[in-house]
Structure 1
Amino acid sequence: MKSFEEALKRLEEIAKRLENENIMLDEAIGLYEEGMKLVEFCSKKLEEAENRIKTIKSIENGKIQTEDFNDE
């Protein structure tokens, strides 16, 4: 598929297009479906990034201890 940034840019384009009062129903539905797929893609990418982020917990015996990122 595309990168997170490309997907986000496309979502912005879709949102602008859907705000247009002159959009046909079939086009709006198609754009909505595409947008929902992009939202799912972006959510997965963010989840993957979150899982990769580590915070340095402490340094013991010359070794760096890490723990999973936690957004508390």
Structure 2
Amino acid sequence: MKKQSFDNALKRLEEIVEQLESGQLSLEESLARFEEGVKISIFCQEELRKTDGKVSLLVKKLNGDMELLDFQA
């Protein structure tokens, strides 16, 4: 799969779902779209995992100050 952005991948995945739900594709086309969708889904999951460690949370400390903490799932 060529390098793409998460947003573009998600948009393409939504298009594939619409095509599959339409019932207008042949069996071969449906299988090809399904395979493409699975690959895109894996790409999106990997991108989310990569960014998971980069997410930061603002946490209000007991004394009222704000503290920036790294979010670790």
| Bin for the TM-score computed over the shorter chain | 0.7 to 0.9
Q: How many residue pairs were aligned?
A: 66
Normalised TM-score (structure 1): 0.76
Runs of 4+ in 1 over 2 A off after TM superposition: 54-59, 65-68
Provide the alpha-carbon RMSD of the alignment. Answer: 2.2
Identity value in percent: 35
2:7 aligned partner, one-letter code: E
Which consecutive residues of structure 2, in runs of 5 or more, have no partner in the other structure? 62-66
Normalised TM-score (structure 2): 0.75
Please give the per-residue CA displacement for 1:10-66, whole angstroms capped at 9, x wherever unaligned. 00000000011221000000000000000000001111111112335689xxxxx76
Which residue in the other structure is 2:18 paired with? 16
Which structure has the highest strand share of the two?
Answer: 1
